[in-house]
Amino acid sequence: MKLEGKHALLQMFVAEGVNYVFGNPGTSETPMMTILPEYKDLDYILVLQEGVAVGMAEGYGEKYRNCATGVFAHRQRNGQRPVADD
């Protein structure tokens, strides 16, 4: 049986230690959102704009030294911004 992309993405998040996914879901994220409840190790944090999701994921990672990610598809350019590394 082939592994669907939506499961591959969420399984990768879990394997990499991601606890929180920040995003503003649209129709392109619907397949992932429908199966997210199956992944008890992941919490989805709804935000109003992609840049906010990036800032929240970065802030979480800096404070707790743990993984978080933002998920966006067609609006990805909105969510991109420079992030300085220490």
Q: Structure tokens of 59?
A: 């802030």
Supply the CATH number for residue 19's domain: 3.40.50.970
Q: Is 71 exposed, middle or buried (0-12, 13-18, 19+ CB in 10 A)?
A: buried
Q: How many structural domains comprise the chain?
A: 1
Domain that holds residue 44: 5-79
Model pTM?
A: 0.73
Which pLDDT value is given to residue 14?
92
Distance, in Å, from the CA atom of 59 to the CA atom of 44, rounded to the nearest integer, reads 16
- What is the predicted pLDDT for the residue at 71? 66
**Whole-number pLDDT of residue 23:** 86
> Within the chain, which residues score under 50 in pLDDT?
74-76, 78-79
In whole angstroms, what is the distance from residue 86 CA to residue 72 CA?
25
Q: Is residue 24 part of a domain?
A: yes
* Residue among 36, 16, 86 at smallest CA distance from 58: 86
Q: Is 85 a member of any domain?
A: no
